[in-house]
Chains A and B, each alone.
Chain A
């Protein structure tokens, strides 16, 4: 089984510690939502998992250690991270961006087949293949970022605020696609999101992060039903 097991993960920037020992488990094929206010360490948590920041503690995917490795090594282990700001290669074409997602894979035929598979999720990308990625709209760029991540055939997909800067309608469409991907590919997903309602809609498990610690964990329904939580952390009433 390729469960993600995070245990006592500590991370920060220079002398500033942001995560103070975070532990949780995501079972293979599940979607896990990480919620919490600004500055709670949600982005840092994803960065720690993909090797973008220094860490202590462990994070294993199917028994293989991710923590303490470089981002390119983590990617080669099958972890696709769609970072804050989407990580688009702006001056390159949409096609180049997608092919870069499969950079570490071998097997040309499989990659070509996956490209077609991406177009079934995001038909708009096919019509824009030769266009510069920087000329896409925000929603299209987020789709491109997801498509690029899928080209890795990831075992674990890390999504950082996919809704950021997008219109509500576009965001809902995007989450619908993430859900479909998770269902069809059995990809494990960790999604960090400000929009708790949307994230809880597709997640099985959720954790609320505050100032670098997990303050609440549970199933998505539990978290959604907890009125106290809703008011304190999620900023809406049920």
Chain B
């Protein structure tokens, strides 16, 4: 039993990271109806920025703040420069552009920082909390806490600020948002900036657990897709719940299903995606159309 609980705790820690990247995916999907395949690579790039600052002698937390600001501005710039020209193009076109962005950012990171792996500092203390027979690492607690904080801040932004209201309006009805005077173009850019910031958090959280290298986020992105699909691509809450469930499911499957082990764990998100699409395509928290004519 203790072993089982231990696996769940480990799974939640991993899941929180998937949740944060899934959150970034969902943010952009809500605004534009497109899936940003480059989200993981942008997060990786942000993590390199943080690494560079720390390597230059900056304290971790200051480096993090600067990284988040850089990511926000970078996300907005990408929307303005790369996505804007294809705004209104068929979804496939935009998706291909994000795939191109994936390749470009990946290659750029390799060019700037090489493909050699780098050690990334863990911001959380090394000890652990003993809860009976279960051990919870401070770093797991830290990851869960950070993701909860990000969730809380996004909730405040969307539900209790005017900018947030404008962003929700653009996400639901851009034409009508324009008619009430909202600058839709800038709002979309803001959405990309936010998503890049949230993604950067996920990159910085995952880097100490894996090693920092340009392909670091590839696996995480697949789990984040599973998380967003499970939770519903249009639901930030769903993304987080989905992330946690996927993390736990993956860990439990690796530990208890003999033939899966640690090698086949990556198959778990695929199974989850397939099952959700078959049984409940809108996801657990997704919205089935409720409008009246």
Contacts and interface: CB of A to CB of B under 8 A. Distances in A.
A31 B73 CA distance: 47
A132 B290 contact: yes
Contacts of A134: 290-292
A87 B179 contact: yes
Interface stretch (B20-28, B142-150, B163-171): B163-171
Interface in B154-197: 162, 165-166, 168-169, 172-173, 175-184
B172 A104 contact: no
Contact of A71 (B162, B165, B168, B178): B178
B116 interface: no
A42 interface: no
B176 A87 contact: yes
Interface stretch (A58-66, A90-98, A187-195, A206-214): A90-98
B2 interface: no
A91 to B, nearest CB: 5
A119 interface: no
B179 A90 contact: no
B165 A83 contact: no
A42 to B, nearest CB: 17
B179 A92 contact: no
A142 to B, nearest CB: 12
B179 A71 contact: yes
A136 B292 contact: yes
Contacts of A135: 290, 292
A75 B173 contact: no
Interface in A66-97: 70-72, 75-76, 80-81, 83, 87-92, 96
A104 B181 CA distance: 6
Contact of B173 (A50, A87, A99, A136): A87
Contacts of B162: 103
A96 B290 contact: no
A101 interface: yes
Contacts, number: 80
Contact of B172 (A75, A90, A136): A90
Interface in B61-103: none
A37 interface: no
B172 A152 contact: no
B280 interface: no
A83 B175 contact: yes
A127 interface: no
Nearest to A97: B169
B111 to A, nearest CB: 39
Contacts of A92: 168-169, 172
A164 to B, nearest CB: 11
B168 A96 contact: yes
A40 interface: no
A18 interface: no
A88 B173 contact: yes
Query: Which interface residue of B166, B182, B184 has the most chain A CB atoms within 10 A?
Result: B182
A100 interface: yes
Contacts of A89: 168-169, 172-173, 176-177
Given A89-B177, A91-B287, 8 more contacts: A72-B178, A80-B179, A83-B176, A88-B173, A89-B172, A103-B169, A104-B182, A138-B293
15 contacts: A50-B179, A52-B175, A75-B178, A75-B181, A76-B181, A87-B175, A90-B173, A92-B169, A92-B172, A100-B169, A100-B182, A104-B182, A136-B292, A137-B292, A165-B293
